């Protein structure tokens, strides 16, 4: 029968014929079987994803133009370049080149929403970068104008220099240092840059520049303190602009564009300096234009005003607030930055001061920044003075020549930023290595060229200018080095990091200017030589420190844990939304996920939102070299490779499917690694068993002497009301507790949960989840219905909510009183009274889809998984449909620790750190329930159970439900404790059956455990009993004193008979 779509939620769909005609198709509807796709109806609504036209002509082995996508049917590699904002970087070449997905959209509704970029502004990102660059031009003009104006303002009768202001040398130093003093405000503005609108902070900086430049020539003649006040305002403008711009960069530019964007934006500083130095030198000689030097400040004020006029209407804090941006570009930006968990401006995010202040990469970056800025202050603020004193240039010539080193700085920053982006796209160096290389070369070159300058006098002016220009060229390499590293360290706190960094830089800038003016008293060559020697030494300091500890990788210190080194390191391949990550954290707090890899933008956004501190790579597995994996030095690998090549409904191409290329690459890497992982876990569909891919993987494992075991496990085996049979493979480098190739039996019957245990109140009241009556009746032969008292549900797939057949179960919310115990299998099994309206009868049932939180509970995520605000419900359904079941994975992963040495698997104590201990039902005789408690991973199991039995001796108060509940028939072994609960003399409602009353007894008794046992020593997972059975899960954690921790067991109702022990 043809598979039909449900009415919830509406998403887009397209067929293979659409693809052949070049129509865009949504990511979730690309299927591997063209015959299935061809039967689907077309919809008019726009797709979620768009396929690049450059790959539509590709023909595949099945003679169809069906793209073979990865497990997530999304990107097999991230786009090498954005749709509009290009910086001349060609896309990388990959071994397999599937269909490229160019755009990401989360809520496209109408085709008209996808606006075409205008001819004038083809990219709003480029426009924003240009506007921010103009802001830096205005600030740079305001900052650098004093360098030339000062030599015209003050009295100095040398080579035509001279002015009417009688300022001493130390007073000049205070005027120059005042700007850095104003920059100290950055420690305050930095903390607020991530909370308030960046557009208005930039506007405030421009207003301050306008006012300061306008007032300085009017008041400077009265007192030099007015000039100090004006320069303080310029420093305050810098304090507002720099953190705001860094915060805006993280919200406007994806990671791979930031190096280029930073180069363009901060290049405005050099453009402004290039403009103002020769212009100011010319204006100094024109006394007829506002008196000469006052015209310099008036011009600077006018430029700041003009930039502000353009910025206020055209600038924006983020893409969603820019009224000219196309929907396509806005969604592209939002999808790329969603994985960084930057959050909204209004979010009250707690600043992790402790982790920030203890971050060695942050301090390395600050140290490198201080050493980088120190010689720059000499070049930008004192270069005209040096050329006047030593090289003896005239004012006009001085301004022009002083601009040459700044020109080299601008060219260097632009070139280095593009080279950095190219290296990140085409190599496997990584951000950290790129930052270290650029910073090391920059520091070494800057120091060397600075040391050359003191050897030049006026007769070697050309050599001096060349050395100064080359020193600035090397200084520009810091942009993709320390500057980019600071932005990448923690994007959600980029404003705070900028504030801290430049606050420290400002203090050193003040000291630098005062020290320089104190050294240079007479302007001799010897005095200037001391200044350049000190600058060269400072410039060379970061070579060792930053190259060892600097990091350019994306981090978020907000959730960082202990600073101690983790015991185990893990790599997640095909990480999805982080199912393995959650399971690993649950079984062992000492596991640190040091890397995660996936190419799906949606799942990556969810993953990074939930695990912001984990290093997530959106890249092909094939691009990971053996050297890169060896550097990670991981103890555990988790893999959930694409399942489409092995599913029964697919083409079952096995290794012939392009989506198996990543698994082939992993097998190749396992064979050649110098540091192979100790443990490997693989999850896939049952069809993976006996496939060529499995045989290839097993051969690779056996070649490295791995011992392995495999399972076919269904969550129903653990009492979880959801069917999701999967294949699991565990491999260890050591043979302990693992039998190679042996199929182990599933866990014994454990008490099942009911659907009602995971239902949410708000979901029951949500009308959006309801399925229309027409859809239910139309699919009455294929829809799978469950009720709250059901003990099972069907496997959820990525198409849940989009299709009805075979995608998962739907819930009957309002079960008729006459069918309370009926578990629905098909809609047509419902008994509708004769003469009753069929539509009305079905509508009263309240059939709805499971909500995202409910599906998370069934999958074991519970509250550990949060939905990002920019991810829609159908995207969460798809992500969960491709994920693993956490309950099962936890049980599988615990086998890794079985048989490990005591020092590895336990902490100090008599028993050790235990694993899950389960109680399974063995026999139910009507009034007795026999249970077996099993524990693994404990060094002294027998002592533990013996101590446990000895605590059941004193009777407690009789229960209100029964007069006698006895624990009896104990059987003690090294690994288990078997005993019987005998419930007698039941009280309560006589209308209830004996089993129901015994169920109340078990509930009453067992639910006392969590409150009566020390939570730091043991936790209980209570599975609600039914049909007279009782099931308990105990998690033993750091059990130090058996008698102390378990003495509260005697509080159980009834008496304990341990005579049989």
pLDDT at 155: 59
Phi (first) and psi of residue 326, to 5 degrees: -75, 150
- Residues 214 and 935: their CA atoms lie apart, in Å, by 80
Inside any domain, residue 659: no
How many Å apart are CA 201 and CA 195, to the nearest integer? Answer: 11
pLDDT for 487:
64
Residue 1042 pLDDT > 70, yes or no?
A: no
Alpha carbon separation from 172 to 169, 255, 273, 527, 555 (Å, rounded): 5, 43, 20, 17, 43
As a whole number of angstroms, the distance between CA 497 and CA 499 comes to 5
Confidence at residue 799, expressed as pLDDT on a 0 to 100 scale = 86
pLDDT-derived band at 339 (thresholds 50, 70, 90) equals: low
Of the candidates 999, 929, 994, the one whose C-alpha atom is nearest the C-alpha of residue 967 is 929
Residue 384 vs residue 656, higher pLDDT: 656
Express each pLDDT in 385-399 by its tens digit.
788 788 878 767 777
Of 549, 570, 591, the residue at which a domain comes to its end is 549
Which pLDDT value is given to residue 640?
A: 93
Range picked from 529-533, 573-577, 590-594 for highest mean pLDDT: 573-577
Contact 71, 644 (CB under 8 A): yes
* pLDDT grade for 267, boundaries at 50, 70 and 90: confident
Most confident of 23-32, 642-651, 741-750: 642-651
Q: Classify residue 968: in a domain, yes or no.
A: yes
Task: Note the pLDDT of residue 39.
Answer: 37
1003-1040: per-residue pLDDT in tens?
A: 444 444 333 333 333 333 333 333 333 333 333 333 33
Nearest to 667 by CA among 696, 629, 694, 692: 696
Indicate the pLDDT class of residue 571, thresholds 50, 70 and 90. very high
With residue 180 as reference, give the H or E element that holds it.
helix 169-183
The mean pLDDT of 490-499, rounded to a whole number, is 68
Angle at 287 between CA 286 and CA 290, to 5 degrees: 105
Of 275-279, 287-291, 856-860, the range with the highest mean pLDDT is 856-860
- Structural domain count of the chain: 2
Asked if pLDDT for residue 210 goes beyond 60, the answer is yes
pLDDT at 916 > cutoff 90 = no
Q: Following DSSP, what letter does each residue of 496-554 receive, concatenated?
A: HHHHHHHHHHHHHHHHHHHHHHHH-SS--HHHHHHHHHHHHHHHHTHHHHHHHH---S-
- The CA distance from 209 to 140, in Å, is 10
| 312-326, 585-599, 814-828: range with highest mean pLDDT | 585-599
The half-sphere exposure of 364 on its side-chain side, counting CA atoms within 13 A, is 23
pLDDT band, residue 995 (cuts 50/70/90): low
CATH number for the domain spanning 516: value is 1.20.1250.20
Predicted local distance difference test score (pLDDT) of residue 276: 84
Least confidently predicted of 166-170, 190-194, 824-828: 824-828
Residues 645-662 pLDDT 10s: 998 877 888 998 999 999
Predicted confidence (pLDDT) at residue 935 exceeds the cutoff of 80: no
- Mean pLDDT in residue range 324-345: 65
In this predicted structure, what is the pLDDT of residue 597? Answer: 93
End-of-domain residue from the set 528, 549, 570? 549
pLDDT score for 1061 = 24
β-strand pairing of 976-986 with 962-972: antiparallel
Whether 9 has a pLDDT exceeding 70, the answer reads no
Confirm whether 1008 is domain-assigned: yes
Confidence band for 66, pLDDT divided at 50, 70 and 90: very low
Q: CB of 284 within 8 A of CB of 148?
A: yes
Rounded average pLDDT over 482-510: 72
For residues 714-731, give the mean pLDDT. Answer: 86
pLDDT, position 638? 94
**What integer is the mean pLDDT of 796-801?**
86
The pLDDT value recorded for residue 1022 is 34
Query: CA-CA distance, 129 to 259, in Å (whole number)?
Result: 12
Q: Supply the pLDDT for residue 549.
A: 52
* Largest Cα–Cα separation, the chain: 114
Residue where a domain terminates, one of 549, 574, 608: 549
Nearest 5°: CA angle at 205, between 200 and 210?
120
d(CA 686, CA 649): 13
Q: Strand, coil or helix: what is 985? A: strand
What is the predicted pLDDT for the residue at 1049?
Answer: 37
Given a cut of 90, is residue 712 above it in pLDDT? no
CB atoms within 10 A of CB 90: 11
Q: What is the distance between the alpha carbons of residues 1057 and 1061, in angstroms, rounded to a whole number?
A: 9
pLDDT at residue 142 in the model: 86
- Give the range with max mean pLDDT: 338-342, 1013-1017, 1047-1051: 338-342
Q: Is residue 248 part of a domain?
A: yes
Give the model confidence (pLDDT) of 105-123 as tens digits: 333 333 333 334 444 446 7
Do 380 and 409 touch, CB atoms closer than 8 A? no
Across residues 222-230, what is the average pLDDT? 83
In sequence order, the 6+-apart residues with CB closer than 8 A to the CB of 264 are 129, 130, 133, 414, 417
Confidence of residue 850 (pLDDT cuts 50, 70, 90): very high
Going by pLDDT thresholds of 50, 70 and 90, the confidence category of residue 697 is very high
DSSP string, 642-654: --GGG-TTS---G
Residue 665 falls within a domain, yes or no?
Answer: no
pTM: 0.46
pLDDT score of 762 more than 70? yes
Query: Quick one: pLDDT at residue 107?
Result: 33
Per-residue model confidence (pLDDT) at position 194: 62
Rounded Cα–Cα distance for residues 139 and 914 (Å)? 62
The burial class, CB within 10 Å (0-12 / 13-18 / 19+), for 527 is middle
Question: Which residue shows structure tokens 């981090």?
Answer: 555
Segment (H or E) for 114: none
Question: What is the pLDDT at residue 775?
Answer: 84
Q: Mean of the per-residue pLDDT values for the chain?
A: 68
Does 273 have pLDDT greater than 90? Answer: no
CA distance 895 to 710: 12
- Exposure of 860 in the CB half-sphere (CA atoms within 13 A): 27
Q: Check pLDDT > 60 for residue 908.
A: no
Range of the domain at 928: 906-1051
Per-residue pLDDT at 499: 72
**pLDDT score at 576:** 92
Phi, psi of 251 (to 5 degrees): -100, -15
SS3 592: strand
Task: Give domain status of residue 714, yes or no.
Answer: no
Q: Return the higher-pLDDT residue of 181 and 729.
A: 729
Question: Which one-letter DSSP state was computed for residue 283?
Answer: H
Q: What is the pLDDT of residue 577?
A: 92
The pLDDT value given to residue 1020: 36
Model pLDDT, residue 349: 55
The answer to the question of residue 415 being in a domain is yes
CB 187 within 8 A of CB 242: no
Question: In this predicted structure, which of 33-37, 433-437, 707-711, 863-867 has the lowest mean pLDDT?
Answer: 33-37
Per-residue pLDDT, averaged over 89-112, amounts to: 31
For the annotated catalytic residues, the residue numbers are 643
| 821 domain-assigned | no
Residue scoring higher pLDDT (336 or 636): 636
Q: Is a pLDDT exceeding 50 seen at residue 74?
A: no
pLDDT bracket for residue 281 (50, 70, 90): confident
Mark residue 862 as left, alpha or beta (left: phi above 0; alpha: psi -120 to 50; beta: remaining).
left
What pLDDT was estimated at residue 790? 83
How far, in Å, CA of 696 to CA of 547, rounded? 41
The pLDDT value given to residue 801 = 82
Q: What is the pLDDT of residue 950?
A: 46
Residue 222 CB neighbours (<10 A) = 9
The answer to whether residue 552 scores a pLDDT higher than 70 is no
Cα torsion 746, 747, 751, 756 to 10°: value is -60
- Residue 196: Cβ within 10 Å count: 16
Residue of 399, 141, 134 lying closest to 280 (CA atoms): 399
The more confidently predicted of residues 529 and 1035 is 529
């Amino acid at each position: 029968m043809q598979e039909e779509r449900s009415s919830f939620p509406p998403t887009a769909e397209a067929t293979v014929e659409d693809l052949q005609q070049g129509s865009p198709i949504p990511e979730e509807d690309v299927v591997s079987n063209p015959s299935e796709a061809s039967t689907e109806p077309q919809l008019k609504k726009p797709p979620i994803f768009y396929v690049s036209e450059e790959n539509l002509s590709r023909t595949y082995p099945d003679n169809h133009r069906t793209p073979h996508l990865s497990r997530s049917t999304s990107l097999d590699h991230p786009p090498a370049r954005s749709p509009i904002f290009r910086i001349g970087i060609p896309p990388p070449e990959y071994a397999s080149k599937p269909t490229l997905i160019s755009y990401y959209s989360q809520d496209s509704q109408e085709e008209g929403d996808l606006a075409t970029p205008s001819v004038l502004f083809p990219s709003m990102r480029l426009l924003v970068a240009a506007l921010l660059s103009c802001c830096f031009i205005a600030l740079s003009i305001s900052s650098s104008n004093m360098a030339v104006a000062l030599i015209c303002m003050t009295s100095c009768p040398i080579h035509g220099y001279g002015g009417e202001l009688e300022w001493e040398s130390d007073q000049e130093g205070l005027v120059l240092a005042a700007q850095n003093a104003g920059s100290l405000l950055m420690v305050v503005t930095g903390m607020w840059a991530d909370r308030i609108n960046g557009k208005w902070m930039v506007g405030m900086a421009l207003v301050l520049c306008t006012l300061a430049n306008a007032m300085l020539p009017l008041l400077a003649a009265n007192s030099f303190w007015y000039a100090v006040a004006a320069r303080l305002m310029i420093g305050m403008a810098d304090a507002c602009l720099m953190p705001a711009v860094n915060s805006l960069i993280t919200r406007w530019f994806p990671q791979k564009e930031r190096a280029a964007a930073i180069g363009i934006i901060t290049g405005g500083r050099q453009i402004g300096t290039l403009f103002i130095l020769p212009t100011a030198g010319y204006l100094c000689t024109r006394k007829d234009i506002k008196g000469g030097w006052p015209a310099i400040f008036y011009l600077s004020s006018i430029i700041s005003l003009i930039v502000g006029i353009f910025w206020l209407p055209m600038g924006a804090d983020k893409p969603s607030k820019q009224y000219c941006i196309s929907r396509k570009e806005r969604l592209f930006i939002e999808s790329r930055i969603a994985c960084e968990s930057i959050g909204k401006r209004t979010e009250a995010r707690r600043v992790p001061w402790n982790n920030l202040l203890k971050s060695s990469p942050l301090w390395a970056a600050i140290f490198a920044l201080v050493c980088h800025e120190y010689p720059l202050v000499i070049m930008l603020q004192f270069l005209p003075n040096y050329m006047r004193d030593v090289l003896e240039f005239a004012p006009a010539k001085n301004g022009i020549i002083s601009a040459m080193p700044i020109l080299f700085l601008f060219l260097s920053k632009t070139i280095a930023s593009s080279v950095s982006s190219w290296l990140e796209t085409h190599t496997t160096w990584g951000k950290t290595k790129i930052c270290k290389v650029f910073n090391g070369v920059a520091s070494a070159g800057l120091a060397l060229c600075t040391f050359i300058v003191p050897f030049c006098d006026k007769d070697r002016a050309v050599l001096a200018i060349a050395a100064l220009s080359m020193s600035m060229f090397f200084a520009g390499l810091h942009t993709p080095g320390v500057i980019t590293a600071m932005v990448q360290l923690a994007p959600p706190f980029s404003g705070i990091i900028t504030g801290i960094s430049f606050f420290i830089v400002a203090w050193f800038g003040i000291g630098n200017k005062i020290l320089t003016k104190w050294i240079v008293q007479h302007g001799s060559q010897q005095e200037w030589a001391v200044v350049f020697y000190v600058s060269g030494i400072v410039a060379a300091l970061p070579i060792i420190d930053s190259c060892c500890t600097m990091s350019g990788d994306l981090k978020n210190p907000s959730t960082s844990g202990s600073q101690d080194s983790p015991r185990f390191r893990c790599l997640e391949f095909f990480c999805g939304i982080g199912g393995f990550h959650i399971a690993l954290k649950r079984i062992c707090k000492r596991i640190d996920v040091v890397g995660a890899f996936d190419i799906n933008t949606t799942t990556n956004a969810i993953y990074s939102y939930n695990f912001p501190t984990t290093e997530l790579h959106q890249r092909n597995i094939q691009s990971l070299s053996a050297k890169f994996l060896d550097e990670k030095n991981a103890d555990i690998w988790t893999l959930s490779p694409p399942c489409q090549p092995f599913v029964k409904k697919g083409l079952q191409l096995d290794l012939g499917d392009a989506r198996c290329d990543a698994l082939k690459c992993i097998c190749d890497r396992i064979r050649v690694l110098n540091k192979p992982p100790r443990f490997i876990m693989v999850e896939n569909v049952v069809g993976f068993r006996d496939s060529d891919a499995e045989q290839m993987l097993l051969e690779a494992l056996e070649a490295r002497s791995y011992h392995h075991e495999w399972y076919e496990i269904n969550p129903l085996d653990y009492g979880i009301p959801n069917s999701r049979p999967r294949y699991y493979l565990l491999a260890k480098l050591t043979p302990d507790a693992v039998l190679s190739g042996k199929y182990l039996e599933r866990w014994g019957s454990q008490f099942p949960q009911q659907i009602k245990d995971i239902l949410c109140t708000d979901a029951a009241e949500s009308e959006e989840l309801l399925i229309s009556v027409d859809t239910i009746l139309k699919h009455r032969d294929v829809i799978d219905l469950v009720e709250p008292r059901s003990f099972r549900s069907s496997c959820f797939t990525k198409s849940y909510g989009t299709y009805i057949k075979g995608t998962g179960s739907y819930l009957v919310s309002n079960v008729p009183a006459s069918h309370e115990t009926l578990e629905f299998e098909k809609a047509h099994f419902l008994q509708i009274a004769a003469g009753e309206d069929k539509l009305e009868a079905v509508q009263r049932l309240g059939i709805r889809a499971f909500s995202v939180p409910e599906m998370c509970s069934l999958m074991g995520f519970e509250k550990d998984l949060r939905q990002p605000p920019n991810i829609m419900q159908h995207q969460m359904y798809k992500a969960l449909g491709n994920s693993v079941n956490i309950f099962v994975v936890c049980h599988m992963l615990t086998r890794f620790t079985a048989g490990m040495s005591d020092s590895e698997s336990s902490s100090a104590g008599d028993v050790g750190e235990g694993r899950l201990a389960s109680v399974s039902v063995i026999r139910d005789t009507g009034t007795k329930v026999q249970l077996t408690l099993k524990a693994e991973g404990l060094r002294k199991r027998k002592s533990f159970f013996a101590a446990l039995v000895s605590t059941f001796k004193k009777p407690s108060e009789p229960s209100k439900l029964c007069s006698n509940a006895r624990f009896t028939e104990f059987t003690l072994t090294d690994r288990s404790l078997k005993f019987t609960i005998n419930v007698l003399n039941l009280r309560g409602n006589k209308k209830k059956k004996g089993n129901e009353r015994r169920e109340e007894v078990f509930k009453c008794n067992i639910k006392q455990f969590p409150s009566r046992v020390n939570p730091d020593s043991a936790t209980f997972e209570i599975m609600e009993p039914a049909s007279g059975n009782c099931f308990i899960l105990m998690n033993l954690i750091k059990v130090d004193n058996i008698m102390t921790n378990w003495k509260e067991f005697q509080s159980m109702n009834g008496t304990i008979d341990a005579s049989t022990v």
